[in-house]
Amino acid sequence: GDTGGAIFDDNERALPCDDRDLHTALAIVECLIAHTAHTYSHLNREGENPFADHVQGITVRESRLYNALPDEFTTAEFTAKAIQLGITKRTAERTLGKFWHAKHIVDQESQGRYRKTGSSNGLSA
């Protein structure tokens, strides 16, 4: 019948939702978004993503930092960009080591100078 602008039909009832219910639903959605992003990062074909074998274990924040860097950069530039993105200096130092030693997505050109190893489009955030 005519709902007269009501959200529900006459045969439907609204379910109460308190703050706990809402926060639980939002936590579930955040988890699903994280899982979706993780899944999509693994669906990239290697030809499209030169880091397909290395991206596992790289966080969204690390990916954003990587994408914000020029193709060649210094340790100071890396740290400054990290701090700009809300990453502490110590975490930035560990992240640079991770990018270089563990993930091999940057190479050290000389003392304090680094270069991205892949194409300029890099990782996807």
CA separation for the pair 120, 125 (Å, rounded): 14
Measured CA to CA, the distance from residue 60 to residue 62 in angstroms comes to 5
Higher pLDDT residue, 65 or 15?
Answer: 65
Instruction: Report pLDDT for 10.
Output: 75
For residues 70 and 39, give the distance between their C-alpha atoms in angstroms, rounded to a whole number: 27
Cα 25 to chain centroid, rounded? 22
Q: What is the pLDDT of residues 32-48, one digit of tens each?
A: 887 777 676 666 544 45
Q: Using alpha carbons only, what angle is made at residue 62 by residues 60 and 68, rounded to the nearest 5 degrees?
A: 105
Report pLDDT digits (tens) over 65-122: 999 999 999 999 999 999 999 999 999 999 999 998 888 889 999 999 999 987 434 4
